[in-house]
Structure 1
Amino acid sequence: MVLSDNSSIFPLEIGEPSPRLLLGPEDATAERNLIDEVRTEAHLAELALKQRMSVRYNEGMVKRHFEVDLGKGAYELERLNGCKIPKSWNAANLRRFYP
């Protein structure tokens, strides 16, 4: 479709006009109320997003249960033949082993 130089395209407003257009620029109180409402909606949307991200992250976490008297997640390891390994290991450095 080719438009001539003297023709213009005007965007049509679809749906209801914005509250700002309905109230006009003179009503400063209504403008502040609209700003507060938009700010509140954005805050609630942010909280909902953070909660969804937290749930998604926590689904992938491995739950660990530690025994009493092991400190802050430290394990004393031993070999299969019963010989103890001299240093203790933090649980963050250990991986499950399936023989």
Structure 2
Amino acid sequence: MPVSPGSCKTGERLRRVVETISAPSRGGGTGQEDFIRVTVSVGVAEYRAGENADDLYLRADNCLYRAKAEGRNRVEGDCDADLWGGGPLDLSE
């Protein structure tokens, strides 16, 4: 069973907020302060009736590893909107 589109949208909103963050970094010993870009990969899983916490965590962790393998700075889960009757999922909100 896929996760709801709302869960994926929440993950995408979080990813976009984090992407706007820049963290100060000492410029490699130059004495000047530089900034590094901060990004996040998100694995999305929703609780299934009767599922234990370890299984839920494992599914979310697997989605996270898939996000990293697919290029990082992304949200991965079973976010197929077609299964929810909506066509391609619009994460632009």
Give the TM-score category using the shorter length: under 0.3
User: TM-score w.r.t. structure 2 length?
Assistant: 0.24
Structure whose alpha-carbon radius of gyration is higher? 1
